Amino acid sequence: MQSTSLTGSLINSGDQPRNKPVIFITFLLLATALPFIAGPILRSVYSGSDVAQQLFYLLLMVGGYHQVASVYLYFDDDAKKIINQHKWYFYFWPLMIASSIMLFYLLDNLSLESYLLQIYAMLTIYHYQKQNIGVYSLLAPNVGFGRMLPIERGLIMGGALVGMLVFTWPIDRSLFQGTVLSTYKDSFEAASLILLCALTLYTSYFACKNYLFIATAQRQYLRAALLLSLVTFFWPMFIVQDKQTAFFMYATAHGLQYYVFIIIASVNGDKIQQLLQTEHIKGVLFRHFNLILFIVLTALSAYIWKQLYLINPPAIFNFSDTEIKRAIFGLASSISLIHYWIDGRIWKIRHDDSRKFMRSKFQFLFAK
């Protein structure tokens, strides 16, 4: 319902751009905060409620499927300007990533797979926190005054280090058996907890000094709260006993954040703005078309992704059915890494073309 309200407001408010920052900020904040509240609540009634169980796994699954939403970018007019200029990056290297992971799983080496999973887990945490930097950089000037400071970027990335150190397990810790992080797991967890405490204390001090204990007219309560929440994004790993619930809290928040970003991207852009100014009806229709295209592509890609994990292939050439299944499993597993690869370029505003892309999609944030 939130997505419907968001996109409906955006689609029908072409002549009311002042409403857009409020809508965007509200839904991005809700996407960040609600999973941290909903996860423990759903889990607390989990055992006695089938509805709570189904909703818990539905939200977790939908949050995870945000990774295939990147497919939409290949069909977006503004994103295609970047993609067509860097075809090796967006076509060749994703194919190489998929091929490499497929080959990796064909080797059938449990030790190597454990290290691959370990690297994947750390990349996932890093990716989550890089997105949080994007969230903060867009929201900070709108919930407070001034752009994100270098020290704030550093504090948020410090949170990434906390997550990477403590994330020595997925849901099933046995997958990491025999790796370095498994051997020294307690030491890594202790180090990450110390780092989390240090970051929490320093961020609290920084926020109080710069945003809270200042002249009343310049106080920035929401900015201070947002900064602290993003720096300590992975606190559930230490506090929440049920690790699946802990994972639900920050992983679902990340997924919902991404949906907000890409839904906004689908209903905004240079072509849409030009049509709204010259042929308003066509502009509105094109917005609806892009939104429907995003939903269809994401749903179809999610379905195919799920089926890849369930497929039972026959033997092909000299490869047994088991080997083919392992290769397909590798292909399915590579989708997450490809998502990280694509997002690592499209949304990186230090590149001129990405900066233009962001401005075309989020004009309402940059309007004076």
Average pLDDT over residues 264-275: 89
Q: How sure is the predictor about 225, in pLDDT bands with cuts at 50, 70 and 90?
A: very high
Q: Is the pLDDT of residue 100 over 50?
A: yes
Burial class (CB in 10 A: 0-12, 13-18, 19+), 1: exposed
Supply the pLDDT for residue 175. Answer: 53
Q: Is the pLDDT of residue 66 over 60?
A: yes
- At position 223, the amino acid (one-letter code) is R
Supply the pLDDT for residue 4. Answer: 36
Number of domains, the chain? 1
> Position of tokens 């308003």?
280
Q: How sure is the predictor about 88, in pLDDT bands with cuts at 50, 70 and 90?
A: very high
Question: pTM to 2 decimals?
Answer: 0.89
Q: Is the pLDDT of residue 68 over 50?
A: yes
> Are residues 345 and 354 in contact, defined by beta-carbon separation less than 8 angstroms?
yes
Eight-class DSSP state of 88: I
Supply the pLDDT for residue 1. Answer: 39
**34-63: pLDDT as tens digits:** 999 999 888 887 767 788 888 888 888 999
> Position of tokens 């006695």?
48
In angstroms, rounded to a whole number, what is the distance separating the alpha carbons of residues 220 and 210?
9
Q: What is the mean pLDDT of the chain?
A: 86
Q: Is the pLDDT of residue 268 over 50?
A: yes
Q: Is the pLDDT of residue 12 over 60?
A: no
In angstroms, rounded to a whole number, what is the distance separating the alpha carbons of residues 108 and 138?
44
**Residue-number span of the structural domain to which 284 is assigned:** 2-366
- Which range (4-8, 143-147, 162-166, 330-334) has the least confidence? 4-8
Contacts of 74 (CB under 8 A, 6+ apart): 80, 83, 90
In the beta sheet, which residues pair with residue 319? 316
Average pLDDT over residues 75-95: 96
Q: How sure is the predictor about 312, in pLDDT bands with cuts at 50, 70 and 90?
A: confident
> Position of tokens 């025999």?
178
Q: Is the pLDDT of residue 249 over 60?
A: yes
Q: How sure is the predictor about 241, in pLDDT bands with cuts at 50, 70 and 90?
A: confident
In angstroms, rounded to a whole number, what is the distance separating the alpha carbons of residues 90 and 98?
13
Supply the pLDDT for residue 109. Answer: 81
Report how far Cα 40 is from the mean position of its chain's Cα atoms: 21
Supply the pLDDT for residue 54. Answer: 86
